[in-house]
Amino acid sequence: MSIRPQKPAPATPAPGKLPLTELPEMKARRQPIVMVTAYDAPGGRLADQAGADLVLVGDSAAMTVLGHESTVPATIEEMLMLTRAVTRGAKRPLVVADMPFGTFQISDEDAVRNAIRFVKEGGADAVKLEGAGPMLSRVRAIVGAGIPVMGHLGLTPQSATMLGGFKAQGRTAEKALALLADSRALEAAGCFSLVLEAVPQAVARRITDELSIPTIGIGAGVDCDGQVLVWHDLLGLYEGRAARFVKRYADIGDTIRSALEAYASDVRERRFPEDAHTYAMPEDELELFLQSASTQRRTESPTA
């Protein structure tokens, strides 16, 4: 069945903001939900202009913009700064702030305190956290404080070491059943949505069919209720090895590199700046300036 693009939903609670309650309705009418990551104000604005429904300030920022080898080193202060920037640019999409490693694992109280910071200081509409098990009580506590929580299962990069690396999850019946059970538990704990990363399509389809909250897939097949891609992967800005599930829609990295090479060559050849990029001054003022500067120089250095 082909789905016609729908008009943006009506504004509430902030002017123009997509209501959170619209997401289960989109799932119900099988209208795919579009999520993309962003890490700065222009990124948030462009995602908004392109009609994204959700913008994730992912802790993938640790790798894509901060140059780390994994997402683990991202700090709350770094993520807050990025979240503030994104929320200045993205107005209609719901902005989800990814809680970095160490900001929600310790205790429910700590998780609630940090989630509140993302909403109050970062301007986020919701937070995302990885995992189930002990994290279920974190979800309950944060939702209990009035903050919407997005879950994240499958390949959870913050625990990639425990998972044996960045590889697909849920590929045996036993592991797929565990994923299904964790998904149900996250829904019951109050998550408004669930990211499924790098899980077999058939497993994601089963989870999606069973849950009433929308699933957002990344490497989980087309049957999820929505999809998410990382900004730098989608636009061709990331130089590391791309995961199987990445589709590159542009090669912005090449475009930027060529532009910088052209600029460097113009500077070296004195082709830039041109007249159009410089400021003039009235002739008489210029003459006065040059004369005065010479006089000043003569009086200041008697040996000259």
User: Of 136 and 228, which CB lies nearer to ligand KIV in the complex structure?
Assistant: 228
CB-based contacts of 263-269 (< 8 A; 24+ apart in sequence)? none
User: Of 159 and 278, which CB lies nearer to ligand KIV in the complex structure?
Assistant: 159
Answer yes or no: 285 catalytic. Answer: no
User: Of 46 and 230, which CB lies nearer to ligand KIV in the complex structure?
Assistant: 230
Other C-beta atoms lying within 10 Å of the C-beta of residue 1: 3
Three-class SS state of 165: coil
C-alpha span between 255 and 38 (Å, rounded): 19
Catalytic residue among 22, 130, 187, 197: 197
**Nearest approach, Cβ of 188 to ligand KIV (angstroms)?**
22
Give the chain's radius of gyration (CA, Å).
25
C-alpha span between 241 and 263 (Å, rounded): 28
**Nearest approach, Cβ of 292 to ligand KIV (angstroms)?**
59
* Residues engaged in binding ligand KIV (CB under 6 A): 37, 56, 58-60, 98, 152, 195, 197, 218, 228, 230
**Looking at beta carbons, which residue is closest to ligand KIV?**
58
C-alpha span between 291 and 40 (Å, rounded): 49
What angle do the packed helices 76-89 and 41-49 form, to 10 degrees? 40
Three-class SS state of 48: helix
User: Of 96 and 143, which CB lies nearer to ligand KIV in the complex structure?
Assistant: 96
List, as one string, the DSSP characters of 69-131.
SSSTT--HHHHHHHHHHHHHH-SSSEEEEEPPTTSSSS-HHHHHHHHHHHHHTT--SEEE---
User: Of 141 and 218, which CB lies nearer to ligand KIV in the complex structure?
Assistant: 218
Through-space distance between the first and last CA atoms of the chain, rounded to whole angstroms: 87
**Nearest approach, Cβ of 102 to ligand KIV (angstroms)?**
15
Q: Which two tokens stand for residue 39?
A: 């890490």
Give me the active site residues, please.
197
